[in-house]
Structure 1
Amino acid sequence: MNVVPALIATIGLLSAVSLLSSCQPEGKSPRTNLLPVKLSWQQQAISCHHSFELENQQWQIRNLKFYLSDFSLDQHPLSLVASTWQQSQLVLLGTNCQGNSNWQVHFQQPLISGQLSFTLGLPFAINHQNPLTATTPLNHGDMFWSWQLGYKFLRLDMQSQLQGWAFHLGSTGCQSASVLRPPLTPCNAANTYRITLRYQPGQHLHLDLAQLLNQLVPTVDNSCMSDNLLASCQLLFNNLAQRQIWQMVSTND
């Protein structure tokens, strides 16, 4: 066996690999299957242990969880890795402030640059099922109203020194024989929200709680359970539709 030509070929191959590696654009973040999700108040990261000021009161989060579903990139569907927090088309994010938390979305394929879209809420086809037989993460009883109304798409519970306040987002106007029966046709108010953001590798999904609660004056009697006749609900629905509650932010920011 002639060793010299084989050695020369090996050196050439290694040099080519090294050259290709050196040609990778500097400053580019590697592709990843994970999309971190972060929570802030007026650009400052917050958690259950932080207080924030709203209408001259100091508040703390007691529970914040939400379902996101139907992810797509440039209108091509994206599948998620099945886990305790995910099914192929949906994920439960947030925390119950008792050590049970999830703040990332795990995709089956690495994300590339493009228009990333998702829905706050669940599709009608899976929103009205029996939570006792549902598979994770649709088996969280605190995120379910009834077969008739379905799931709470977002649950926010807060506490100040004076009072508690809550916002539970879900579908309303759902018609069925009883609260123990699922509707056969879509609810009058689905109360789901489609979000599209420009994604670049190395970014995380940013939820700005200050934008969600913008202009809200929490009182003992205006917690919102998705009643569209209640002024506080109308304000929150408008904020969800109009304000920049969701943003893509560089991980280094």
Structure 2
Amino acid sequence: MTHRIARAMGASLLLLTAPSLLLSACDEAHGEHEHLTLTFAPHVSGVPFVCGDTYDNLGASGDQSLTIKDARFYAHNFRVVDADGTEFPVELEQDGTFQHDGLVYIDFADSSISGCEGNPQTNVTVVGTVPPGSYVALRFTVGVPFEDNHADASVAASPLNVTDMFWAWQSGYKFMRLDGASTGLPDWRFHLGSTGCVGDPTAGGVTSCAAPNRVEVEIASEHFMHEPIGVDFGALLSDVDLDTQTENTPPGCMSGAMDPDCTPYFEALGLPHGTMAAGTQRVFSLD
């Protein structure tokens, strides 16, 4: 393994010992609601993620390496679920930077680290309130809501003003972005977003997208109240060939509906692709 061991061990210890980084529901009441903090913990098959590091033993062959230089995603529609199956929306705080109008921007890429791209500011938490109660599951959606996905990023409120998370007005935002370099594909990247969108935002808006590509996540455990939510990039890449690409397609996957290289990424996220039906995602889980 060629990642920096000391830094990875430090990140692991921090996750285990720092209460401020643990997913928790505090007893503080905000009126009739209780404070809730969710924390995302990125890793690569159990090894804590450090942007700019190289990770080995990846891909379908189990012997490929990838240096990950950028890792970010948007999420929205956070709900907690009680034992009867009733959903209660998480009311997100409006912090003016990472959370706005029900949308959260999670950024694991600290550009101050050598070999890491992106921005210097990072964010691994979701902060909000929920009604008092006992909950057995958490649900959320990875991506940007349709009604916000095709606006002008140059004038949007933060966090939708992050222009390098935007494709084009018709396609909209990159819901998830993972950039890196493998031995065979030095410009490897995985960008998830909607495709096959119909309409022109400059002339009245996009009316629909053939492949919305928003990931539905359920953490079916009451322990989501006390443990970080793991984001396993190793699981995302487990059936991928990281060193080759299909002719006339981009290196990695840019969510193309006709790109066969995208199928294993989509399968890991539980998304349909081509003739493959939707399944169960395996990237997000409790650590």
- What number of residue pairs does the alignment pair up? 220
CA shift for structure 1 position 61: 1.3
Deviation string 1:175-207 (CA, Å, 9 cap, x unpaired) is 124x75564422111001111112422111110
1:175 aligns with 2:187: no
Aligned to 1:97: 110
2:193 counterpart letter in structure 1: G
Residue 58 of structure 1, aligned match among 65, 71, 86: 65
1:72 aligns with 2:101: no
Residues 174, 183 of structure 1: 8 Å contact kept: no
SS of aligned partner of 1:100: coil
Aligned to 1:187: 209
Aligned to 2:174: 152
Residues 148, 182 of structure 1: 8 Å contact kept: no
CA shift for structure 1 position 220: 5.5
The TM-score, its normalising length taken from structure 1, stands at: 0.79
SS of aligned partner of 1:235: helix
Using the alignment, how far apart are the partners of 1:181 and 1:40 within structure 2? Answer: 42
Residues 78, 139 of structure 2: 8 Å contact kept: yes
Using the alignment, how far apart are the partners of 1:234 and 1:50 within structure 2? Answer: 26
Aligned to 1:130: 152
CA shift for structure 1 position 51: 2.1
1:75-90 matched pairs, under 5 angstroms: 75-83=87-95, 84-90=97-103
Moved more, 66-75 or 32-41: 32-41
CA shift for structure 1 position 217: 0.7
Moved more, 237-246 or 147-156: 237-246
SS of aligned partner of 1:164: coil
CA shift for structure 1 position 243: 4.0
CA shift for structure 1 position 234: 1.5
SS of aligned partner of 1:132: helix
What root-mean-square deviation, in Å, do the aligned CA atoms of Structure 1 and Structure 2 show? Answer: 2.2
Residues 64, 243 of structure 2: 8 Å contact kept: no
CA shift for structure 1 position 97: 3.3
Deviation string 1:93-121 (CA, Å, 9 cap, x unpaired) is 02333032111111134885321100011
Aligned to 1:229: 258
SS of aligned partner of 2:41: strand
Deviation string 1:55-74 (CA, Å, 9 cap, x unpaired) is 53432211111001110111
CA shift for structure 1 position 229: 1.1
1:52 counterpart letter in structure 2: Y
> Structure 1 residues 182, 190: CA separation in 2 closer, same or farther (over 3 Å shift)?
farther
1:26-37 matched pairs, under 5 angstroms: 31=26, 33-37=36-40
Using the alignment, how far apart are the partners of 1:82 and 1:102 within structure 2? Answer: 14
Deviation string 1:34-86 (CA, Å, 9 cap, x unpaired) is 11110111112121143211253432211111001110111111111112111
Using the alignment, how far apart are the partners of 1:215 and 1:204 within structure 2? Answer: 25
Using the alignment, how far apart are the partners of 2:257 and 2:232 within structure 1? Answer: 23
Q: Which has the larger radius of gyration?
A: 1
SS of aligned partner of 2:210: coil
Question: Once the two structures are aligned, what percentage of the paired residues are identical?
Answer: 30
Aligned to 2:16: none
Structure 2 segments unaligned to the other structure (5+ residues): 1-23, 27-34, 82-86, 112-119, 246-250, 271-279
Aligned to 2:117: none
1:95 counterpart letter in structure 2: F
Residue 214 of structure 1, aligned match among 224, 233, 238: 238
CA shift for structure 1 position 147: 1.3
